[in-house]
Amino acid sequence: MIGENGSTAGWDAIDAALDALYGDAVPLHVAPELPSYLGGTETLDGISIFVRDEPVPHWHLVSYGMSDLYGAGTGRNFEFTLRAVRRPDAVEPPAWAVLLVQQLSAYVVGTGQRFEPGQTLRPGVLTLGPGPTELSTLAFVEDAELATVEGPAGPLTFIQIVALTAGEYAAADGDASAVLDRLAKEIPLHVIDPARGSLL
């Protein structure tokens, strides 16, 4: 991807972090028809999605567009990630996971809000697929495998989206760090499984 000034430094920094983790694995990449540097209005210029078997089968989604991809002097110093459970018969990632990353990205751009590890969010409605779920709220944690890397404009943090039940959200009381540490013992890499119940 090349911006109008010819720079791809921000995009390349994300690619480098993913290459270090996934090597030659080729992800599924979801992108708008018209990227931002050509005048597109979508919040993100892409989401890369990797298939994972360990520590539990899941999809690993990583956004491109919250940070400054093309050296335009805009953007933020983070990208979103999300890990969604992968069912045995699944051949493509769940639509709700892609939509949630896109919705949160639009929320950040529209409101100026940004997220830090430990923060929580209570959406009006949280849709995680067609079936019922007890997961109704969100929290944010530094992605355990990508963490923070050096980007062209300074440190670039990969902020992972985590889903919580109402009880877990209440226990977090605005700072989910302690709750997320407890949940990590039961939920490897904070993979979102809409079918799970409360673990507290």
CA dist., res. 10 & res. 28, Å (int) = 20
pLDDT of residue 88: 92
> What was the pLDDT predicted at 7?
81
DSSP summary character for residue 181 = H
Residue 104 CA to residue 95 CA, distance in Å, equals 14
At residue 6, the pLDDT reads 62
Task: Give the strand pairing for 148-151 and 154-165.
Answer: antiparallel
Strand bridging mode 78-85 / 154-165: parallel
Domain total in the chain: 1
Domain extent at residue 69 = 9-190
Rounded CA separation 104/42 (Å): 12
Residue tagged 């495998």 (tokens): 145
The pLDDT assigned to 5 comes to 55
Strand-pairing partners, residue 82, are 61, 161
In a domain, 142, yes or no: yes
In a domain, 3, yes or no: no
Residue 200 domain-assigned?
A: no
How confident is the chain (200 residues) per 10-residue block, as mean pLDDT? 67 96 96 82 93 97 95 87 95 96 95 91 90 95 95 92 96 91 96 94
In a domain, 2, yes or no: no
- Whether residue 26 lies inside any domain: the answer is yes
Contact 177, 140 (CB under 8 A): no
In-domain check, residue 84: yes
Q: Are 161 and 80 in contact (CB under 8 A)?
A: yes
Domain assignment present for 49: yes
Position 32, amino acid:
P
The pair of structure tokens assigned to 27 is 């992800």
pLDDT at res. 188: 96
Q: Please check whether residue 61 is in contact with residue 48, taking contact to mean a CB–CB distance below 8 angstroms.
A: yes
Find the helix or strand (DSSP H, E) in which 121 lies.
strand 120-121
Give the per-residue pLDDT at 86.
Answer: 97
Query: Does residue 4 form part of some domain?
Result: no
